């Protein structure tokens, strides 16, 4: 009796859920922490553009998004690094075929504490600080004295599946690996928070996570004049650690997903990414 | 329904057939209790088979076990030359657990001796309840305390750049392990027969002499078991150490160095790896290693505690 009753109740419940979902397509969007704020803004704005589709956004890092794409649990994966050949192969083997869409550009800002007198750092100096073979373990090794800090450099990095982690390594260290003893934070915001509180610290993350409580250094490469990170220098490629931001779809986008991707690449979508502190893929006029 | 119908038939068949409704209920309950009893074993085997399935193939085919245990570089997401060394992670877990024991042993033994030997009546009962309450605090809350209270405190007190380190996690973990160690140690003290105490007191021993010379030596194995279980807890704890250690692959040279625990590495990275990738399997290999370690520690604790009952 009870069993039959609860069965029929469950049936009714299922019917409600089914009709609720009907007529509205749910797009699962997951990945990069760098992109998560933009992705959320896109999803919210898209509500009014196309009420027939709902976009569910979650972060967790590029690795999370790419893993979800390989495992087939997501419609669009956000990534701040390119998918590795190995990863594309793994996805193919499982019948998912990731297609890359560049949706914007980001400058990877290097943050130091406000009391740190340094204004510019070279890529070579950053490699000395972050690299396994690097020699800079104290601020005095690169000729800097930081008030409130007993000379030790507190090196802040990201967890090893982060796209930011991978891209920073590629741009700064090349083939070299990160040194041991870095504090591996689980999000861009955590990096900025820690640097803000720690006079000895240096960290990196997407430009959009910058706050007025931390200092961004001007970065120079190959002896050229240093370039400060900004939307402009990220977009025109002048800033040495700028990177494309990607969205991966499973195969060429179709139906609702195609409509969504097209809207993201439109002026309306690109104005949103600009407003969030990233460079759009092409110059756009926004009001 | 069928259970009620069948005994009718059975009764017609013979006088000695006792298969009535009560008999069936008895059987059913017996079966259920048996299932409950062996379920723990089934789950253990199931879990072991699962982690072995995910990690073992990788251990045999790809992983260099010498590198795994002796390299201090953990760089599993590298495309060309991934490195799977857990030496620094073992050092992290061991240093934090070691410090936790330094913190927890005096606390828990002191609490156990007080509860078991000195406190009486209401004090004793309320203390026991409080200790159990302490054990019920979720580990993420402990981690939060480490992150937001201990961190600035350590920076302030010791003038170090970062407060998320061995000291922070060791204290947090020590406080987490202390309650369970207290209750097991107290059980061990309770297992010492009162006639031992009475005999010692009859010889003119003071309270402290009774405890130090008679009760503690007699309860030695049980107390050691309590410590071992605390160590097992330390090895297995994840969330609090993830939040309080600073999460930095590093072989510590002082208690102010940030480290990373084996468990925390699995927690932080597993969600972001593709199922079946080498990185995923490497994390499961850490899981196998942790499983073996905690299994051995618990087994040791069990054997040691059993020793006391024999003697």
Task: Examine the domain organization and report whether A220 and A230 are in the same domain.
Answer: yes
For residue B77, which residues of chain A lie inside 8 Å, CB to CB?
63, 160-161, 165-166
Residues 107-136 of A with CB under 8 A from B: 132
Quickly state the pLDDT bin for A23 (edges 50, 70, 90): low
Is the CB of B274 less than 8 angstroms away from the CB of A181?
no
For residue B78, which residues of chain A lie inside 8 Å, CB to CB?
177
Residue A118 in domain: yes
pLDDT score for B14: 57
Question: How many Å apart are CA B29 and CA B23, to the nearest integer?
Answer: 10
Task: Examine the domain organization and report whether A129 and A222 are in the same domain.
Answer: yes
Task: Examine the domain organization and report whether A128 and A233 are in the same domain.
Answer: yes
Residue A1 in domain: no
For residue A89, which residues of chain B lie inside 8 Å, CB to CB?
none
For residue A178, which residues of chain B lie inside 8 Å, CB to CB?
75
CATH of the domain at A41: 3.40.190.10
Task: Examine the domain organization and report whether A251 and A187 are in the same domain.
Answer: no
pLDDT score for B48: 86
Task: Examine the domain organization and report whether A86 and A210 are in the same domain.
Answer: no
Residue B79 has pLDDT above 80, yes or no: no
Among A243-247, B10-14, B50-54, top mean pLDDT goes to A243-247
E runs forming strands in chain A: 25-31, 53-60, 76-79, 98-113, 120-122, 154-158, 183-185, 201-206, 214-216, 218-220, 242-250
Is the CB of A66 less than 8 angstroms away from the CB of B249?
no
Query: Least CB-CB distance to A154: which of B80, B162, B251?
Result: B162
Q: Is A87 on the interface with B (CB under 8 A)?
A: yes
Residue A281 in domain: no
Residue B176 has pLDDT above 80, yes or no: yes
Is the CB of B274 less than 8 angstroms away from the CB of A90?
yes
Residue A284 in domain: no
Q: Is A182 on the interface with B (CB under 8 A)?
A: yes
Question: How many Å apart are CA A243 and CA A249, to the nearest integer?
Answer: 19
Residue A81 in domain: yes
pLDDT score for A86: 86
Q: Determine the distance in angstroms separating the CA of B87 from the nearest CA of chain A, rounded to an integer.
A: 12
pLDDT score for A163: 86
Task: Examine the domain organization and report whether A36 and A164 are in the same domain.
Answer: no
Task: Examine the domain organization and report whether A69 and A111 are in the same domain.
Answer: no
Bridge partners (DSSP) listed for residue A120: A218
Q: Determine the distance in angstroms separating the CA of A30 from the nearest CA of chain B, rounded to an integer.
A: 11
Question: How many Å apart are CA A53 and CA A29, to the nearest integer?
Answer: 12
Query: Least CB-CB distance to A183: which of B73, B75, B248?
Result: B248
pLDDT score for B108: 94
Residue A265 has pLDDT above 70, yes or no: yes
Task: Examine the domain organization and report whether A183 and A98 are in the same domain.
Answer: no
Query: Least CB-CB distance to A154: which of B77, B80, B161?
Result: B161
Query: Least CB-CB distance to B272: which of A67, A84, A178?
Result: A67
Task: Examine the domain organization and report whether A88 and A142 are in the same domain.
Answer: no
Residue A79 in domain: yes
Contact (CB, 8 A) for A178 and A157? yes
Using one digit for the tens of pLDDT, what is the confidence trace for B43-52? Answer: 989 988 888 8
Query: Least CB-CB distance to B272: which of A63, A185, A199?
Result: A63
Q: Is A149 on the interface with B (CB under 8 A)?
A: yes
Quickly state the pLDDT bin for B310 (edges 50, 70, 90): low
Q: Is A66 on the interface with B (CB under 8 A)?
A: yes
Where in the sequence is the domain holding A23, given as residue range(s)? 9-105+245-275
Query: Least CB-CB distance to B78: which of A90, A177, A182?
Result: A177
Q: Determine the distance in angstroms separating the CA of A182 from the nearest CA of chain B, rounded to an integer.
A: 5
The B-side interface with A (CB below 8 A) comprises 72-80, 83, 88, 159, 161-162, 164, 246-251, 257-258, 260, 268-269, 271-277
Which residue of A67, A170, A195 is the best one to mutate when testing the B interface, meaning the one whose CB has the most B CBs within 10 A? A67
pTM for this prediction: 0.81
Query: Which of B294, B175, B172, B179 has its CA nearest to residue B226?
Result: B179
pLDDT score for A105: 93
Half-sphere exposure at residue B124, Cβ-oriented, CA atoms within 13 angstroms:
11
Is the CB of A181 less than 8 angstroms away from the CB of B248?
yes
State the total domains in chain A. 2
Question: How many Å apart are CA B271 and CA B167, to the nearest integer?
Answer: 28
Q: Determine the distance in angstroms separating the CA of A2 from the nearest CA of chain B, rounded to an integer.
A: 15
Ordered alpha helix ranges (H), B114-254: 121-135, 139-145, 151-158, 166-190, 194-202, 207-209, 216-218, 220-236, 239-244
Using one digit for the tens of pLDDT, what is the confidence trace for B132-160? Answer: 898 899 999 999 999 999 999 999 999 89
Mean pLDDT of chain B: 89
Using one digit for the tens of pLDDT, what is the confidence trace for A82-105? Answer: 898 888 999 999 999 999 999 999
Task: Examine the domain organization and report whether A68 and A89 are in the same domain.
Answer: yes
Task: Examine the domain organization and report whether A98 and A112 are in the same domain.
Answer: no
Taking CB atoms within 8 Å and a gap of at least 24, the contacts of B9-17 are: none
Residue B198 has pLDDT above 90, yes or no: yes
Is the CB of A181 less than 8 angstroms away from the CB of B257?
yes
Q: In terms of DSSP bridges, do strands A25-31 and A53-60 run parallel, antiparallel, or are they unpaired?
A: parallel
Q: Is A150 on the interface with B (CB under 8 A)?
A: yes
Q: Determine the distance in angstroms separating the CA of B243 from the nearest CA of chain A, rounded to an integer.
A: 10
Half-sphere exposure at residue A60, Cβ-oriented, CA atoms within 13 angstroms:
20
For residue B79, which residues of chain A lie inside 8 Å, CB to CB?
84-86
Query: Which of A70, A75, A45 has its CA nearest to residue A58?
Result: A75
Q: What is the number of CB-based contacts under 8 A between chain A and chain B?
A: 90
């Amino acid at each position: 009796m009870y069993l039959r009753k609860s069965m029929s109740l469950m049936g009714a419940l299922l019917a409600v859920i089914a009709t609720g979902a009907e007529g509205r397509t749910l797009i699962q969007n997951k990945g990069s922490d760098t992109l998560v704020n933009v992705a959320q803004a896109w999803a919210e704005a898209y509500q009014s553009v196309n009420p027939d589709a709902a976009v569910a956004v979650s972060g967790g890092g590029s690795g999370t998004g790419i893993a979800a794409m390989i495992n087939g649990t997501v419609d669009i994966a956000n990534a701040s690094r390119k998918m590795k050949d190995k990863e594309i192969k793994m996805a193919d083997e499982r019948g998912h075929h990731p297609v890359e869409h560049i949706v914007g550009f980001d400058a990877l800002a290097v943050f130091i504490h406000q009391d740190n007198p340094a204004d510019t750092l070279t890529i070579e100096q950053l490699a000395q600080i972050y690299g396994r073979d690097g020699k800079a373990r104290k601020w005095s090794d690169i000729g800097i004295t930081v008030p409130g800090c007993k000379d030790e450099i507190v090196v802040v990095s990201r967890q090893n599946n982060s796209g930011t982690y991978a891209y920073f390594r590629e741009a700064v260290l090349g083939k070299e690996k990160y040194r041991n003893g870095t504090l591996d934070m689980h999000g861009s915001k955590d990096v900025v928070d820690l640097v803000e509180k720690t006079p000895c610290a240096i960290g990196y993350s997407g430009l959009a996570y910058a706050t007025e409580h931390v200092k961004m250094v001007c970065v120079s490469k190959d002896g050229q004049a240093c370039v400060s990170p900004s939307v402009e220098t990220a977009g025109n490629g002048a800033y040495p650690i700028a990177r494309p931001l990607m969205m991966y779809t499973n195969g060429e986008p179709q139906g609702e997903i195609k409509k969504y991707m097209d809207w993201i690449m439109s002026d309306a979508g690109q104005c949103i990414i600009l407003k969030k502190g990233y460079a759009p893929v092409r110059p756009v006029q926004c009001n | 329904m069928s259970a009620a119908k069948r005994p009718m038939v059975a009764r017609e068949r013979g006088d000695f057939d006792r298969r009535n409704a009560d008999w069936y209920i008895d059987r059913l309950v017996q079966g259920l209790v048996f299932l409950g009893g062996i379920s723990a074993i089934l789950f253990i085997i199931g879990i072991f088979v699962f982690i072995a399935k995910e990690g073992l193939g990788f251990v045999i085919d790809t992983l260099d076990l010498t590198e795994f245990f002796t390299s201090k570089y953990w760089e599993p997401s590298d495309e060309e030359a991934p490195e799977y060394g857990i030496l620094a992670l073992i050092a992290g877990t061991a240093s934090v657990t070691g410090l936790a024991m330094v913190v927890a042993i005096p606390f828990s033994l002191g609490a156990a001796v007080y509860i078991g030997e000195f406190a009486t009546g209401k004090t004793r009962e309320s203390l026991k309840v409080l200790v159990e309450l302490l054990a019920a605090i979720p580990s993420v809350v402990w981690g939060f305390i480490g992150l937001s209270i201990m961190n600035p405190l350590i920076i302030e007190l010791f003038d170090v750049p970062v407060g998320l380190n061995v000291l922070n996690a060791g204290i947090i973990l020590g406080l987490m392990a202390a309650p369970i160690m207290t209750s097991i140690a107290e059980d061990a003290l309770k297992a010492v027969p009162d006639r031992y105490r009475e005999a010692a007191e009859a010889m003119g021993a003071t309270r402290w002499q009774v405890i130090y010379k008679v009760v503690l030596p007699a309860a030695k194995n049980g107390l050691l078991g309590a410590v071992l279980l605390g160590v097992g807890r330390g090895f297995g704890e994840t969330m609090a150490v993830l939040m309080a250690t600073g999460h930095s692959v590093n072989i510590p040279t002082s208690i102010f160095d940030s480290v990373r625990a084996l468990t925390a590495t699995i927690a932080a990275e597993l969600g972001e790896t593709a199922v079946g990738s080498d990185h995923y399997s490497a994390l499961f290999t850490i899981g196998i290693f942790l499983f073996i370690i905690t299994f051995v520690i618990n087994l040791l604790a069990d054997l040691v505690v059993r020793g006391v009952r024999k003697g």
